[in-house]
Amino acid sequence: MLDTKEKVVEIRGLYKSFGDLDVLMGVDLDLYKGENLVVLGKSGSGKSVLIKILAGLLQQDAGSLKVLGNEIIKLNYRELNKLRLEIGFSFQNSALYDSMTVRENMEFPLVRNVKNLTKGEITKRIEGLLDSVGLPQTINQMPSELSGGQKKRIGIARTLILEPQIMLYDEPTAGLDPITCGDINNLINQVKEEFNTSSIVITHDLTCAKSTGDRMALLLEGKFDAVGSFEEVFELAEDERVKSFYDYNFIRK
Amino acid sequence: MAQVSNQKKSVITPKVDKFFMGLANAYAFVARFFKEVFVPPYEFREVIRQCYEIGYKSLPLISLTGFIVGIVFTNQSRPSLSEFGAASWLPALISIAVVRAMGPLVTALIAAGKVGSSIGAEIGSMKVTEQIDAMEVSATNPFKFLVVTRVLATTFMLPILVMYTDFLALMGSFINVNQNELVSMPTFFVQVFEAISFLDVFSSILKSLVFGFTIGIVGCYKGYNSTKGTEGVGKAANASVVMSMFLIFIEELLSLQIVNAIRNA
């Protein structure tokens, strides 16, 4: 399925706790170039914590985490920011800057990280991306004027403006109706094809997982107990915890 | 006995710990501001925008307050001065009171309420909705964009607002004096400028810079460190106002001591 087996993310023995609460307890995971890896788990299982560590927003307590060959914890602020240009992060609630228009939201990372762009080039890039996510008409709108699905799309477009190699999606379909969920799932697949990204999709929605994932990884009690294709992880699962997760999503045949 | 002492320890220690941790965090926040303010890239456009938001948009409230303070203070001072036959000293008394203390203090307290709370709430809600994280992951320094710009804007705008308040308070006072004592504008303002010295104006501006810095840094600190949730945003806004006002009064007291020491030297 995958073009190559080159690893873009390599996680070994990752631990993270908050006070007395152990969230990640020895996580091992690889993300290969050009794949969509879906990380599933119950709410509060540490899925979002994992990608926040990956983006350098949180620090692990122990373990190794390499992104594009760089050990995150060893990078200084400048090196980390350089690496962040290669990582796009789509937030659960979109995290659009609500005092700025859609255009300003998209300009914000671009003008601060890519030098010597003319106004025309910036506009062309923004309009191109808004076309890609199907929302060219929203360019001058404020985030408060957009629907939940539109905000998600704009959030994804904003992360793509820096042309990252890796995309991290945090609960991309949370709080959306089934039709908009389908649109977002299609967009995640489109991003992979069009921008040649490798992605980690965090979700507890099995429909999203099945539509977008090349591989699944199920986070249970701080560790990845099951990693593989959708069929391997769920349909052939023997573990009661995995079965119950699957049954809860009402899609077992 | 041992149990009692342990109980006391368990009640007091976390609060003391929290207090000193809070002080250390605040110190680190202020130190980070002074480190970041001199390092490029500079967010000039955002500083200008914040100056407009903080300065220009505060003008209606500041104008009204300054004008009323001038009228009320003049009216309240008149009976006491008249008792000693010194009503003609009203312009001098008002100018000293307004320039030395009331102008900076009233403006700073109003700005703490209006600007400090809005900074605390805005940054707090950005923290809660992960907008600050979004800046961080897009390789942009949110501290520079959000904190440095706002603190610079409050620091530079407050002295301007104070001078504006002083002027309006004196105008309010003039109208009152003109109506009651039939003093002309040139006479009133000659007395005003004779009463105040360069030290009064200079210390007032310097003090306003400190007040402005306090309002900005406290608002940003409370917002930046707000806990998750909408309740945290409300608390950040409230704490910004309370802490700013508390610090402004302490700074006023300190500045009074310093200026008096200079004046008497």
Report the gap between the CA of B131 and the closest CA in chain A (Å).
5
Segment B159-187 shows an average pLDDT of 94
Percentages (nearest 5) of helix, strand, coil residues in chain A: 40, 25, 35
- Asked if the Cβ–Cβ distance from B131 to A97 is below 8 Å, we say yes
Average pLDDT over residues B42-63: 93
Instruction: Please check the confidence at residue B253 and state whether its pLDDT lies above 80.
Output: yes
Q: Smallest CA–CA separation between B218 and chain A, in Å?
A: 21
| Closest residue, chain B, to A87 (C-alpha) | B137
pLDDT at A198: 95
Average pLDDT for residues B244-256, to the nearest whole number? 95
Q: Which of B41, B131, B137 sits opposite A87 (nearest CB)?
A: B137
| pLDDT: which is higher, A251 or B110 | B110
Give the confidence band of A43 by pLDDT, cuts at 50, 70, 90.
confident
CA distance B27 to chain A (A): 21
Closest CA in chain A for residue B144: A112
Q: Does the pLDDT value for residue B3 go beyond 90?
A: no
- Judge: A97–B130 Cβ closer than 8 Å, yes or no: no
DSSP A72: G
Contacts of B40 in chain A (CB under 8 A): none
Contact at CB, B139 and A57, closer than 8 angstroms? no
What pLDDT score was predicted for residue A232? 81
In this complex, the residue of B122, B136, B139 whose CB is nearest that of residue A57 is B136
Which residues are bridge partners to A88 per DSSP?
A: A167
* pLDDT greater than 60 at residue A1: no
Q: Which two tokens stand for residue B85?
A: 């036959």
Q: CATH homologous superfamily of domain A7-248?
A: P-loop containing nucleotide triphosphate hydrolases (3.40.50.300)
pLDDT of A251 higher than 70: no
CB A90 within 8 A of CB A170: yes
Cβ separation A98–B134 shorter than 8 A = no
pLDDT score of A252: 47
Q: Which of B129, B139, B140 is the closest to A95 by Cβ?
A: B129
10 Å CB burial of residue A69 (0-12, 13-18, 19+) is exposed
A-B Cβ pairs (cutoff 8 Å, strict): 56
pLDDT bracket for residue B92 (50, 70, 90) = very high
Which residue in the block uniquely carries the two structure tokens 């609460």? Answer: A21
For chain B, count helices (H), then strands (E): 12, 0
Confidence bin at B229 (pLDDT 50/70/90): confident
Q: What is the mean pLDDT of residues B229-256?
A: 93
What residue has token string 């009216």? B75
pLDDT at B189: 94
Chain B segment 80-109 residues within 8 A of A by beta carbon are: none
Cβ contact B139–A108 (<8 Å): no
Chain B residue with Cα closest to A113 = B139
Q: Where are the domains of chain A?
A: 7-248
Q: What's the rounded mean pLDDT across residues B187-192?
A: 94
Nearest residue of B to residue A56, measured between CA atoms: B137
Pairwise CB contact (< 8 Å): B131 & A85? no
**Hey, are the CB atoms on A91 and B138 less than 8 Å from each other?**
no
Which residues of chain B have a CB within 8 Å of the CB of A114?
none
pLDDT value at A253 more than 50: no
Cα B82 to chain center, whole Å?
34
> A95 and B130 in contact by Cβ < 8 A?
yes
Choose among B68, B213, B84: nearest CA to B148.
B213
Tokens standing for residue A143 = 């985030």
* A233 Cα to chain B: minimum distance (Å): 31
| Interface residue ranges in chain A relative to chain B, Cβ cutoff 8 Å | 52, 55-57, 81-82, 84-85, 87, 89, 91-93, 95-99, 108-109, 112-113, 158-159, 162
Report chain B residues whose CB lies below 8 A from the CB of A92: 130
HSE-CB of B177 using CA atoms within 13 angstroms = 30
Q: Where are the beta strands (DSSP E) in chain B?
A: none
Q: pLDDT at position A142, please?
A: 97
Residue of B nearest to A115 (CA): B41
Residues 109-128 of B with CB under 8 A from A: 122, 126
Using CB atoms, pick whichever of A55, A85, A95 lies closest to residue B131: A95
State pLDDT tens for residues A202-220.
998 888 888 999 999 988 8
The pLDDT of residue B4: 47
The tens digit of pLDDT for each residue in A120-177 reads 999 999 999 999 899 999 999 999 999 999 999 999 999 999 999 999 999 998 888 8
B40 touches chain A (CB under 8 A): no
Label residue A249 by pLDDT band (50, 70, 90).
Answer: low
Tell whether B129 is within 8 A of chain A (Cβ). yes
- A89 interaction partners in chain B (CB closer than 8 Å): 133-134, 137-138
As a whole number, the mean pLDDT across chain A is: 89
Residue A21 has pLDDT above 80, yes or no: yes
- Tens digits of per-residue pLDDT, B28-48? 999 999 999 999 889 999 999
Work out the widest C-alpha separation in chain B, in whole angstroms. 77
Q: Do B137 and A93 touch (CB under 8 A)?
A: no
Kindly report the CA angle at A143 between A139 and A148, in degrees rounded to 5? 110
Domain boundaries along the sequence of chain B: 43-264
Residue B41 touches chain A, beta carbons under 8 Å: yes
How many Cβ atoms are within 10 Å of B256's Cβ, its own excluded?
14
pLDDT (mean) for B48-68: 93
Return the SS3 of A33: coil
What ipTM score was computed for the predicted complex, to two decimals? 0.89
* Edge-first strand listing for the sheet containing A21-32: A21-32, A7-18, A62-67, A70-71
CB contact under 8 A, B137 and A55: yes
- The answer to whether B203 touches B87, Cβ cutoff 8 Å, is no
Percent of chain B scoring above 90 in pLDDT: 82
